[in-house]
């Protein structure tokens, strides 16, 4: 197989491997305020996220299949085999791209404090969620993620220490 085609096949296979990890934040979220809502997990279900479908897998598969099919048979047969190879390569390349990007995720149903229920699907990170877990939904723009709720801050920690500078005194 020619080297450029092999390189394209490798690139198509690896394209679907990129994913968004809930434990890793994109750089553009730094120094941005997000809304936090408290809730309780009322349902957890494992789901599978579909792989990306950029069309690159089908394109590379079609080219590779067409080249491979074109090298089979005589002059008249090579056109037929090239066409069949291109079609089969495209179907196979699409399936590989789609399958390579699939990953396990969770669908979390959360009851908010106001009684409203929301559903969020996110990739499984380091945190494990169970029914009844207190959680926070962190929303920024159109994206949201779920994380365990922080324990309440004791009142003694929330007030400044007696010797600490806390601003002007009357």
pLDDT at 135: 94
DSSP annotation string for 132-162: T-EEEEEEETTEEEEEEPPPPPPHHHHSPPT
The encoded tokens of residue 87 equal 């079609």
pLDDT digits (tens, 9 = 90+) for 93-110: 777 777 676 778 889 999
Question: pLDDT band for position 43 (50/70/90)?
Answer: very high
pLDDT at 160: 61
Q: How far apart are CA 61 and CA 122, in angstroms?
A: 30
Whole-model pTM: value is: 0.52
Question: pLDDT band for position 82 (50/70/90)?
Answer: confident
Indicate the average pLDDT of the chain: 75
């Amino acid at each position: 197989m020619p080297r450029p085609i092999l390189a394209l096949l490798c690139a198509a296979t690896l394209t679907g491997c990129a994913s968004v990890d809930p434990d890793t934040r994109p750089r553009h979220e730094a120094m941005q305020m997000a809304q936090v809502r408290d809730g309780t997990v009322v349902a957890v279900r494992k789901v599978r996220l579909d792989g990306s479908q950029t069309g690159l897998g089908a394109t590379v598969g079609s080219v590779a299949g067409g080249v491979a099919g074109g090298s089979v048979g005589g002059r008249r047969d090579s056109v037929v085999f090239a066409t069949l190879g291109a079609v089969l390569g495209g179907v196979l390349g699409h399936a590989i791209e789609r399958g390579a990007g699939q990953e396990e995720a969770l669908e979390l149903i959360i009851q908010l404090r106001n009684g409203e229920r929301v559903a969020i699907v996110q990739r499984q990170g380091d945190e494990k969620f169970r029914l009844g877990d207190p959680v926070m939904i962190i929303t920024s723009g159109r994206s949201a993620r779920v994380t365990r709720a922080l324990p309440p801050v004791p009142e003694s920690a929330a007030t400044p220490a007696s010797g600490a500078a806390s601003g002007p005194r009357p």
